[in-house]
Structure 1
């Protein structure tokens, strides 16, 4: 990633917003159980349970903060670039065997999407900042590989 705020696709935004809502609901539940049980002093098992819930609350707070910041950055980044590959771009690449695929450069929040290549994957990192016609080199479990960036945007017919 470039260090500048990165755009986010509409699908990733929805997924992050849903995760944020779910985390806030879970946080309310956990915080409620902490308040209820803190009124009565208990044995060591109760104290251990309180510590576990306090730790869970801290993890939830950190994830809520991370998602909130990511959404804020995405809002200031604007739409995905169309002249160079960035997070949120749809790209068409051609592999050495002639196979052409249309992929989206996205984030983990979109992991169920079969056309997703995450920006921190080897192919995703290789594509970031590239322009149509560029050949990218990246590592795979089977060794080094290459692909040609055919286009940025909707699929082209070739």
Structure 2
């Protein structure tokens, strides 16, 4: 798990670097466009300002994650769970704290702890059926096994 954590931290750090570069370009563009102009220019400045605020918010969120500020409400990250769906198929899922921890190619076998399924699994036990909301309505799965991190 340490290797996956390292890769996640690197991806988060790279996203922060990219966002900072984008923010700097936006600020430079706004500074260059400042001055006399028409009302179209001021609407562009407002839009640019809104984008800078959104970038700042995302940077703060990522820095908080890197600092260990992840507050988990659902099932603990690192949990592995085997579920049987209504059609009888079984699938093993890994639980992660944040979407950025989902590895490429593992999107279908990863659940975030605060997703509807992650929240439904919080107090579940082997043999129990849990229900959770999906865009298509309520879904139901049977917990075949659940291995929480030690």
Which ranges in structure 2 are unaligned for 5 or more consecutive residues?
none
| Closer, same or farther: CA 65–29 of 1 in aligned 2, 3 Å | same
Map residues 137-156 of structure 1 onto 2, 5 A cutoff: 137-140=131-134, 141-152=136-147
Q: Distance in 1 between matches of 2:148 and 2:27?
A: 45
Which ranges in structure 1 are unaligned for 5 or more consecutive residues?
1-8, 78-84
The equivalent residue for 1:33 is 29
SS of the equivalent of 1:58 reads helix
TM-score, length-normalised on structure 1?
A: 0.67
The equivalent residue for 2:66 is 71
Kindly indicate whether structure 1 or structure 2 has the higher relative contact order, using CA contacts under 8 Å at least 6 residues apart.
Answer: 1
Cα deviation code 1:12-41 (max 9, x no counterpart): 444433322221121111111122222x32
Of 115-124 and 92-101, the range deviating more from structure 2: 92-101
| Closer, same or farther: CA 29–149 of 1 in aligned 2, 3 Å | farther
| Closer, same or farther: CA 151–67 of 1 in aligned 2, 3 Å | same
Q: Distance in 2 between matches of 1:96 and 1:48?
A: 52
Map residues 52-131 of structure 1 onto 2, 5 A cutoff: 52-74=47-69, 85-95=75-85, 97-106=87-96, 107-109=98-100, 110=102, 113-130=107-124
Q: Distance in 1 between matches of 2:62 and 2:112?
A: 17
Q: Tell me if structure 1 keeps the 8 A contact 2:78–2:148.
A: no
What is the RMSD of the two structures over their aligned residues, measured on CA atoms?
Answer: 3.2
Q: Distance in 2 between matches of 1:41 and 1:30?
A: 19
Give, in angstroms, the shift of residue 151 of structure 1: 3.2
